[in-house]
Amino acid sequence: MQGLHNFIPTNRKVDYINALLKVGFDTIDFGSFVSPKAIPQMADTKEVVIELDLRDTKSKLLAIVANERGAKDAVDFDEITYLGFPFSLSPTFQLRNTRATQTEALDRVARIQELCVSHKKQLVVYLSMAFGNPYGDVWNTEAIEPWVDQFNQLGIKILALADTVGVAEPSSIQTLFSELIPTYQHIEFGAHFHTRPDDWKEKISTAYEAGCQRFDSTIQGIGGCPMAEDELVGNMATENLLSYVVDHGEQLNLNTEALKRAQEMASELFM
């Protein structure tokens, strides 16, 4: 939703997320505690969370934060399990996305991690621009592990490698997941891919075969990253992801009728 210019009414956000909660996904990324000036679409996140129906769902809620102030707001809600922080491997994008240098952002992660631990939350760090960037900033696979090591020292247990502008190649996906997963066995590594219609399968298959078991997706692949200031590349489509993993023998135990209803709502809400 974050990249859409027209504000989606709070009640319609609530209805759609409640529909997703009935499907049985592990985690629902439902909102962001960020500046309403930067992301106006997320200005009603506090109102949304208190209206969500969590009585009969196994799904956990994740909220994005960009600084300590947002994290302090988020940890006050018992309904929220995860806080997500976007840390960029591109210094240019870190400034664009959170108005902080990488050093400042790492310090924010440390303070937010302390808040999460004291409030029994878990911090998910998204390593954005993990597969390259459009700004000319230096990138290579060897430069990523030192950052992972620093997050490991802070006690971060979930790291998502984010293909923010859809430039990941199978070779870099295979290298990163196959090297990081066995090296940091106590960290759960996720894949947050942005894709085009012709390259989604090779990204999923390469990460999956390298041991990745945590994937982010959106119904119909709607969305992208508005802070990248690039032609929006869609998110990984949930439908494609489910098709792939089911074909490879994964038992997901999702409510297919609820999924169908969520897909119908997405078509009404976003098209």
Q: What is the pTM of this model?
A: 0.94
Neighbours of 167 (CB within 10 A): 16
Non-local (6+) Cβ contacts of 163 within 8 A are: 130, 131, 191, 192, 193, 194, 195, 203
Torsion over CA: 203, 91, 95, 232 (sign): negative
Cα separation, 182 vs 130, whole angstroms: 18
- CB-based contact 151:110 (threshold 8 Å): no
Mean pLDDT, the chain, whole residue set: 94
- CB-based contact 270:235 (threshold 8 Å): no
The pLDDT score that the predictor gives to residue 140 is 94
Nearest residue to 145 via CA among 170, 113, 175: 175
Cα separation, 46 vs 60, whole angstroms: 16
> In the 8-state DSSP scheme, what is residue 238?
H
Higher-scoring residue by pLDDT: 234, 97: 97
Residue 222 banded pLDDT, cuts 50, 70, 90: confident
The pLDDT score that the predictor gives to residue 199 is 87
Residue 195 banded pLDDT, cuts 50, 70, 90: confident
The answer, yes or no, to whether residue 4 has pLDDT greater than 90, is no
The pLDDT score that the predictor gives to residue 229 is 47
Task: Report the CATH superfamily, name and number, of domain 10-270.
Answer: Aldolase class I (3.20.20.70)
Mean pLDDT of all residues in 16-39: 96
The pLDDT score that the predictor gives to residue 224 is 59
Q: For residue 133, what are its two tokens? A: 């960037």
The answer, yes or no, to whether residue 159 has pLDDT greater than 90, is yes
- CB-based contact 102:110 (threshold 8 Å): no
Structural element, H or E, at residue 18: helix 10-21
Cα separation, 128 vs 126, whole angstroms: 6
* Residue ranges covered by each domain of the chain: 10-270
The pLDDT score that the predictor gives to residue 123 is 98
Cα separation, 166 vs 187, whole angstroms: 24
The number of residues making up the chain comes to 271
pLDDT in tens, 249-260: 999 999 999 999
The pLDDT score that the predictor gives to residue 230 is 47
Q: For residue 209, what are its two tokens? A: 């075969």
pLDDT in tens, 67-88: 999 999 999 999 999 999 999 9
Mean pLDDT of all residues in 141-169: 95
The pLDDT score that the predictor gives to residue 233 is 58
The answer, yes or no, to whether residue 66 has pLDDT greater than 60, is yes
Cα separation, 235 vs 249, whole angstroms: 24
The pLDDT score that the predictor gives to residue 228 is 46
The pLDDT score that the predictor gives to residue 3 is 79
The pLDDT score that the predictor gives to residue 164 is 87
Mean pLDDT of all residues in 84-105: 95
Strands 188-195 and 234-235: antiparallel
Nearest residue to 131 via CA among 184, 182, 186, 192: 192
pLDDT in tens, 38-61: 899 999 999 999 999 999 999 999
